[in-house]
Amino acid sequence: MTAFEPIRFEPGYRRVATAIAARILDRTLREGDSLPPETELAEQFAVNRSTIREALRELESADLVTRRRGTKRMVVTRPAADQIAGRVGQSLALHDVTVREVWQTLELIEPPIAAEAALHADAAAIEQLRAAVSRYAADHETAQQAVAGVADFFRAVAAASGNRVLPMTQEPLLLLLVAALEVMIDRAPPARGRIAVAQQHVLAAIEAHDAVAARDWMGKHVRDFRRGFEISGIDVDSPVPAPRRD
């Protein structure tokens, strides 16, 4: 005989939250629309304002609604890449993902991304990329600056591919890379220079729309990180640090 399904009781705040979320996902509520005041929502759903507020906290945490800086009304938003990426990074870190797993993944996905960027980069994207490269070249004194520059370079490359899924896919990895690099970069002195060189080669390849060269140089670039970790004496099988909280 078939066992019975456990009957599940959904608390009110959750049902309210999913009801509102559904309206956002099916575009009945569109980005920028502001939600009705809490008292009004409470009337419409026929629940207490406290219940509405708990539901709103859920939606807020999912970045489906946001309170604009110092304003009162809740506004419908589309969760941005970086918001969500933080969650993914958190999750990976809590699962004790290792440094090795992070750079292995980068070794796998970054070269094809660079190749794609070489094929599809338009003038504006190349301009952005150039800016990122020269920003790194100019400012990489502190570990934080250097690491942020590295991440921004990867972001610019992915953006140059013209495919909006790629930046979002790689973003969690970048957060973890940043967390790991901040520990490593000061212990591997030659790293900063090698990074600048590799960035310039990748940039040149993309400017020339040379997919093969872009893939190759990006490959070298990410393999350099592996080397950096090895040189710096960090145990690559230790878990990555959790990305800084927002």
Partner DNA sequence: ATAGTATAATTGTCCGACAAATGGACAGGT
Partner DNA sequence: ACCTGTCCATTTGTCGGACAATTATACTAT
Site residues for a copy of itself per CB under 8 A? 6, 8-9, 13, 17-18, 21-22, 24-26, 31, 50, 53-55, 57-63, 69-70, 78-81, 83-84, 87-88, 90-95, 97, 101-102, 104-105, 108-109, 112-113, 116, 163-166, 168-169, 172-173, 242, 245
8-state DSSP, 46: T
- Adjacent-strand bridge partners of 66: 75
* Shortest Å distance, C-beta 109 to a copy of itself: 5
Could you tell which of DNA, a copy of itself, none binds residue 123, using a CB distance below 5 to 8 A set by kind? none
Closer Cβ to a copy of itself, 68 or 187, answer by number: 68
**Exactly one of 17, 20, 51, 158 binds DNA (CB under 7 A); which one?**
51
* Shortest Å distance, C-beta 47 to DNA: 3
* Shortest Å distance, C-beta 186 to DNA: 39
Q: Is there binding between residue 44 and DNA (CB under 7 A)?
A: no
**Exactly one of 18, 23, 33, 37 binds DNA (CB under 7 A); which one?**
37
Closer Cβ to a copy of itself, 183 or 196, answer by number: 183
Closer Cβ to DNA, 41 or 222, answer by number: 41
The answer to whether residues 129 and 167 touch, using CB atoms and an 8 Å cutoff, is: no
Could you tell which of DNA, a copy of itself, none binds residue 39, using a CB distance below 5 to 8 A set by kind? DNA
Q: Is there binding between residue 75 and DNA (CB under 7 A)?
A: no
* Shortest Å distance, C-beta 209 to a copy of itself: 17
Could you tell which of DNA, a copy of itself, none binds residue 72, using a CB distance below 5 to 8 A set by kind? DNA
Count of all residues that appear for the chain in the document = 246
Instruction: Give exposure, 113-126, as e/b (b: 16+ Cβ within 10 Å).
Output: bbbbbbeebeeebb
Closer Cβ to DNA, 43 or 96, answer by number: 43
* Shortest Å distance, C-beta 69 to a copy of itself: 6
Neighbouring C-alpha atoms within 13 Å toward the C-beta of 240: 29
* Shortest Å distance, C-beta 189 to a copy of itself: 28
DSSP string, the chain: -PPPPPP----HHHHHHHHHHHHHHTTSS-TT-BPPPHHHHHHHHTS-HHHHHHHHHHHHHTTSEEE-TT--SEEE-PPPHHHHHHHHHHHHHHTT-BHHHHHHHHHHHHHHHHHHHHHH--HHHHHHHHHHHHHHHH--SSHHHHHHHHHHHHHHHHHHTT-THHHHHHHHHHHHHHHHHHHHGGG-TTHHHHHHHHHHHHHHHHHTT-HHHHHHHHHHHHHHHHHHHHHTT--TTSBPPPPPP-
Q: Is there binding between residue 72 and DNA (CB under 7 A)?
A: yes
